[in-house]
Structure 1
């Protein structure tokens, strides 16, 4: 009996050891299953894997998901382990109406695709191997029903992701817009204030009172004197007519006496037609002596801009002798591009500033728009009349012209929200659920950091104003994946 009892005890011990081994094995397998690591993409949390690798959407390295400690073990929950969609997002300073702190899930269709692990651009709608013979990995894409511009798709950005990307938002609103037209302007003399000095009789220059270009003159100041045999003969005719008129005045016949005065009047008119001054005519009549020289006077106050005469020079009727420019008012000529022409009108206010004199503004008005476009520069010349007190503006100077056209109250969007795409423009509109939807917009003129909106946006909408290109890249990638999923 003793050997049989020993055999039974040995069998019971072996059975107990086997049961214990099975329990330990099951516990180890369960622990390993619970502790199996899980990896996900920080930018696309829906992409997960049980082994390290790269995100098939953006190519970023997958990071391990931090698991929460089992409840009841005294461990405190790690707030950092929460997903971005579960974190509260405080509004950034200066950020207008930050998005909701928790992104609400969207009711979007999903589709599974397969991507090559070596070539992220190689995508298929069914499992298999890529061109390098490696197994393709699955991933999911969402399909939005929102109508968006071609090549773009709506995306969902949580508050944490928005803060990490540096997203800021602006508001579409009604604003008082003004179109600013700025261009270079060149100062030139006012052509209506240029005076040419010449003579209507031939002769010789006796004396020059103003003998230098650029010299300032006053109205009525002597410029030069000339000797003219023709003028001398006309003065002598005046004296002869005066003598004859005195003799004829004693005639008993009124017609004869009046004829003598008519001769005097005709001689005076002839001298005036030759620009002999009234004072000189009166002097001849008073003294009864002819004057050898005739003096030419400045027709206006200004500066001598041109002088083509020298003492002793022979001149003929009509020869230009001097040019006097009145610079109390000058012109500013600006070149306007075709896109600015609808906003520049004759009579509108204009301002001219000088680059070397900050804060000094010369105000005037647009007086003329050239009827012809310059075929070489494709610009139109605009002329502005600018008062020039103190003669500060000199012909030949360059300044900056500023024209302002009132557009009135219009719907406006911040210019930083606009992304140009060839012939089209679009912006990303922020929804209350954290979605960013691309919208094509039609824009008007730009004014003070804003664009006038013709269509596409309405007042009250929030639009992305910074990190637009990051959002645009994500939207383009998502649209490309949706196109592949749809078999396009």
Structure 2
């Protein structure tokens, strides 16, 4: 009877509980020479390796230079099994392993962010003095008061208007209509409102004192009126902000803003009115990106007919982001995120599992899009994949990369100033890498080729490009820039 199921069960349990040391013990047991085996069936070793450093190969047996243990042989007839981890179906069931199928479909997203209500800066009215005069009366108002359209703000005495009105009234009985029209025109050019001119013409009395009212309904943001103060022509008296529509400002991560469209509908819920959701419109995506938080600011217009939405209130915002029409997708829990790359355990025939590197796209509701690395219909491990990944590492199984071998690494560019040149590379104080989503900082980059540092010195301004890999960020290109005057 084959001993393989028992060995596999022991291998998985010990790898889960004891990590690398258990893997080494199992490797020693699995590769212990069978003393009873005849010489004619002696297995051929391809190389020897340390189970703790499986990627390093040795041509002869001996003691590991890394750990206090003997090197383990890798046999020729193990070449095929070394490319994958095999687990018997019964053991898969005992471990509670779940598999998921790579499917194709539309991956819509719904983004939840928090926003703050602000005033609508497009709905602003400024009240000014049209001519020099004096404040006869200031009505009982203060910044923050809500007023209706036409509500009185102040009574202003304008001496210049008094003389012009008397001249106009004196010419009303003149036989020359042209003189009367010219006098009326002088009133208008002096800044007198047309309604006041008509009132003077009807009443036949001069009105040097005029009551200034609010041009629109809203809240008084600024008020610069006090009784007895003198005014110059054009002096600002009050600034009123309308409340018929308010803005809701929110920030979204730049990596998730690709599906937003100006004009789309937005749902908002306010803690002040939990039972009354408010629907608005995405008015604009502001062009400036926050370099610290890597977010984009949104401006959402919300109707406020009853005036109950007040600036400063917070709201929970729901945004529907357009998903790609047809993408490969797998459960998010199936992905092993190492920080440098994303892996999945691909299920093959006869209980074999192989690590595969994948390139991921957008993520929503427990699903993530796979841009490269998998094909539709393949199956991946959704539960228990970390155990298989540990055993694959101990066996030295190489991960199948997500990108074709001929694909050149992407180069990300930024500007900076050289701080130091050393054997480790260039230490550069650089600006943000926009394509990496990385803010500006000072760090040391290795050089892809030593000759890239030729002709450079500390203090030089440079434009440089880096590639990203398992070894970190490596400078692929660099060019010296002229200092700005």
d(CA) in 2 for partners of 1:281, 1:163: 94
Deviations 1:272-310 (A, max 9, x none): x43x251x3333212211123101111111121221222
* More displaced 10-residue stretch of structure 1: 215-224 or 364-373: 364-373
CA contact 1:180–1:403 (8 Å) conserved in 2:
yes
Residues in 2 aligned to 1:292 and 1:350: alpha-carbon distance in whole angstroms: 51
- The alpha-carbon distance between structure 1 residues 316 and 141, as it changes in their structure 2 partners (threshold 3 A), is farther
| Aligned counterpart, 1:222 | 152
Q: 1:263 to 1:243 in 2, by over 3 A?
A: farther
Alignment of 1:392 with 2:322, yes or no, is no
Q: CA deviation at 1:355?
A: 5.0
Q: Which residue does 2:459 correspond to in 1? A: none
The answer for the alignment partner of 2:386 in structure 1 is 469
Query: What's the CA shift string for 1:18-47, capped at 9, x where partnerless?
Result: xxxxxxxxxxxxxxxxxxxxx9674249x9
Q: Supply the distance in 2 between the matched residues of 1:475 and 1:241 (Cα, whole angstroms).
A: 105
The Cα offsets for residues 102-145 of structure 1, whole Å up to 9 and x where unpaired, read as: xxxxxxx995988999x999997766778999998889797455
When you count strand as a share of all residues, which structure comes out higher?
2
Number of residue-to-residue matches in the alignment: 372
How far is the alpha carbon of 1:241 from its aligned partner? 3.0
Tell me, yes or no, if structure 1 residue 270 matches structure 2 residue 186. Answer: no
CA contact (8 A) 1:144 1:154 kept: no
Q: Is the 8 A contact 2:245 2:304 kept in 1?
A: yes
Conservation of the 8 A alpha-carbon contact between 1:241 and 1:263: no
The answer as to whether partners of 2:116 and 2:313 remain within 8 angstroms in 1 is yes
Instruction: Provide the TM-score with structure 1 as the length reference.
Output: 0.65
- Structure 1: tracts of 5 or more residues without a match: 1-38, 48-53, 63-108, 147-151, 249-256, 483-488
Q: State how far apart, in whole Å, the 1-side matches of 2:228 and 2:70 are.
A: 106
- Counterparts of 2:59 and 2:155 in 1: how far apart (Å)? 102
CA contact (8 A) 1:55 1:61 kept: no
Given candidates 201, 208, 220, the residue that maps to 1:292 is 208
130, 135, 143: which one aligns with 1:200: 130
Question: 1:481 deviation in Å?
Answer: 10
- Cα deviation, 1:342-375, whole Å, max 9, x if unaligned, reads 3323222333333565564322222223333345
Maintained 8 Å contact 1:41/1:61: no
**CA distance in 1: counterparts of 2:208 and 2:318, whole angstroms:** 56
Aligned to 1:260: 179
Deviation at 1:377, TM superposition (A): 4.5
CA contact (8 A) 1:59 1:120 kept: no
Deviates more, 1:452-461 or 1:120-129: 120-129
Among 172, 191, 197, the residue aligned to 1:242: 172
Q: In structure 2, what is the equivalent of residue 403 of structure 1?
A: 319
Aligned equivalent of 1:444 = 361
CA offsets 1:423-443 (integer angstroms, 9 cap, x no match)? 432211222422222222222
Q: Highest relative contact order (Cα 8 Å, sep 6+), 1 or 2?
A: 1
Q: Is the 8 A contact 1:155 1:474 kept in 2?
A: yes
Larger Rg: 1
Question: 3-state SS of the aligned residue for 1:399?
Answer: strand
Go from structure 1 to structure 2 and tell me whether the alpha carbon gap of 1:58 and 1:338 turns closer, same or farther (over 3 Å shift).
farther
Please provide the CA RMSD for this pair: 3.9
Contact 1:241 1:267 in 2 (8 A): no
List runs of 5+ in structure 2 lacking aligned partners.
Answer: 1-5, 15-20, 30-42, 400-485
Contact 1:210–1:224 (8 Å) recurs in 2: no
CA distance in 2, matches of 1:304, 1:144: 81
User: Partner residue of 1:43?
Assistant: 10
1:404, distance to aligned residue in structure 2 (A): 2.0
